[in-house]
Amino acid sequence: MNLPADNPPSPARILIVEDESRLARLLADYLEAAGYATHCLEDGREVAGWVKARKPDLVVLDLMLPGRDGLEICKEIRTFSLVPILMATARAEEIDRLLGLELGADDYLCKPYSPREVVARVKAILRRARPDSVMAEVAGPLQLDPDAFKVMAGDRSIELTAVEFQLFATLFQSPGRIFSRARLMDNIYADQRIVSDRTIDSHIKKLRRKLADILPGLELIHSVYGAGYRYEPVPREPGGPE
Ligand code: CA
């Protein structure tokens, strides 16, 4: 039996932690228009307790807050909850440092951001967070052959260059995790030679084109604006073959 269309599941609840109240209100309006329920907090000291008591589905967390900063809050939340955290910072250059600290945030936003961008990120994170969805397929249907620099999907395969393979293997082994360009370069160029960010971008471009040969129409390597790249496994069809 189909559920009536006017009886949707209860909306996901988003906690917005932002001390610029106009921005918080704007964000809440956009998220509510997209069908989410929201709650706003301004003081960093209230956040961890609220999350523990109310168990939101996602937290948009500003880095600079009165009372307590987003870094400490994120770390504390991770001691008791895996709720997705989308961290916002006004300093793009701060993101590399945050990634290095491995706080457990799920994504990062650069301020000023457009509320539409936030809604898109929230949707993407919640889709990933659903256990029956993308993240269930941790390894994906892909197999890697490190001796031949080959990637296989079923009976199709592609050969990569050594650099492309190293790049892909790094992303593939940590699905969902964002790698900055600097981190990817460190992994690939052990001799520390100076390469520009554009080098990584151009390898990623070639890699995407090759992957499209064996898995057409699927976006496996995602660009994260202002942050870097991440791999997302191929979604498994509900009820499809293992
Ligand atoms: Ca702030």
Q: What mean pLDDT do residues 175-202 have?
A: 76
**What does the DSSP assignment read for 52-97?**
HHH--SEEEEESS-SSS-HHHHHHHHTTT----EEEEES-TTHHHH
For residue 23, the CA-to-ligand 1 centroid distance in Å is 10
For residue 92, the CA-to-ligand 1 centroid distance in Å is 14
Mean of per-residue pLDDT scores for the chain: 82
For residue 212, the CA-to-ligand 1 centroid distance in Å is 41
Partners of 107 in beta bridges: 86
- The structural domains of the chain, ordered by start, are 13-129 (3.40.50.2300), 134-236 (1.10.10.10)
| Long-range contact pairs involving 73-82 (C-beta distance under 8 Å, separation at least 24) | 73/17, 73/44, 73/47, 73/48, 74/103, 74/104, 74/105, 75/103, 75/104, 76/48, 77/47, 77/48, 77/51, 78/103, 78/104, 80/52, 81/51, 81/52, 81/55
pLDDT higher than threshold 90 for residue 137: no
- The per-residue b/e assignment along 91-103, b for 16 or more CB within 10 angstroms, e otherwise, is eeebbbebbeeeb
Q: What mean pLDDT do residues 76-102 have?
A: 82
pLDDT higher than threshold 80 for residue 195: no
For residue 42, the CA-to-ligand 1 centroid distance in Å is 9
Cα 133 to its chain centre, rounded Å, is 14
The position carrying tokens 């995790």 is: 177
**What is the percent of the chain where pLDDT is above 70?**
83
> 52, 62 in Cβ contact below 8 A?
no
Structure confidence at residue 74 as a pLDDT band (50, 70, 90): very high
Q: Report pLDDT digits (tens) over 54-66.
A: 999 999 999 999 9
pLDDT higher than threshold 70 for residue 235: no
For residue 45, the CA-to-ligand 1 centroid distance in Å is 13
Q: Report pLDDT digits (tens) over 1-56.
A: 444 444 556 789 999 999 999 999 999 999 999 999 999 999 999 999 999 999 99
Residues within 5 Å of ion ligand 1, judged at the Cβ atom:
19, 62, 64
Q: Please give the pLDDT value at position 135.
A: 31
Of 50-54, 135-139, 225-229, the poorest mean pLDDT is in 135-139
Q: What mean pLDDT do residues 205-209 have?
A: 93
Q: Please give the pLDDT value at position 240.
A: 43
